[in-house]
Amino acid sequence: MGINVIRSELVRPSEDTPHGPFWLSNLDLGVRSGYSPTIYLFRPRHDDRSGFFSADVLRTALAMALVLFYPLAGRLGMAPDGRVEIDCNGEGAVFVVAESDIVLDDLEDFMPSKAMSDMFVPPYEKEVGPGAPLLLLQVTFLRGGGVVLGTGMHHYALDGRSSFHFIQTWSSMARGATGAVVAPFLDRRAPHARSPPVILFDHSHEYCQNAGYATSARPSELIGVIMRVTNAQAAALRAHTGESLFRSLVAHIWRCTLMARALAPDAKSRLYTVVDMRARLSPPLPSAYFGNAGVRTSVSAKVGDLLANPLKFGAQQLRMATNQGDEYARSTVDYLEMADERSKPGRELPDTDLRVISWMGMVSHDADFGWGEPALVAPAAMSYTWFIYNIGNSGDVAVAVAMKADQLARFKKLFFDENEMTW
Q: Catalytic residues, which ones?
A: 155, 368
In contact, 27 and 293? CB cutoff 8 Å: yes
Sheet with 84-88, strands from edge to edge, namely: 20-22, 84-88, 75-78
Measured CA to CA, the distance from residue 273 to residue 244 in angstroms comes to 15
**φ/ψ (deg, to 5) at 18:** -60, 140
- Residue 206: helix, strand or coil by DSSP? coil
**φ/ψ (deg, to 5) at 210:** -90, 105
How far apart, in Å, are the Cα atoms of 384 and each of 176, 235, 280, 336? 39, 27, 27, 23
154 CB contacts (<8 Å, ≥6 apart)? Answer: 34, 35, 36, 76, 127, 132, 133, 134, 135
Q: Per DSSP, which regions of 223-319 are E strands?
A: 223-229, 268-276, 294-302
Encode 100-139: b = buried (16+ Cβ within 10 Å), e = exposed: bebebeebeebebbbebbebbbbeeeeeeeeebbbbbbbb
- Residue 9: helix, strand or coil by DSSP? strand
How far apart, in Å, are the Cα atoms of 282 and each of 276, 289, 320, 328? 13, 14, 20, 11
* Separation of CA 391 from chain center: 15
Rounded (5°) CA angle 25-171-399: 70
Measured CA to CA, the distance from residue 158 to residue 138 in angstroms comes to 19
Side-chain half-sphere of 144: how many Cα atoms within 13 Å? 7
Measured CA to CA, the distance from residue 406 to residue 408 in angstroms comes to 5
- Residue 390: helix, strand or coil by DSSP? strand
Q: Which of 304, 281, 303 shows the shortest CA–CA distance to 294? A: 281
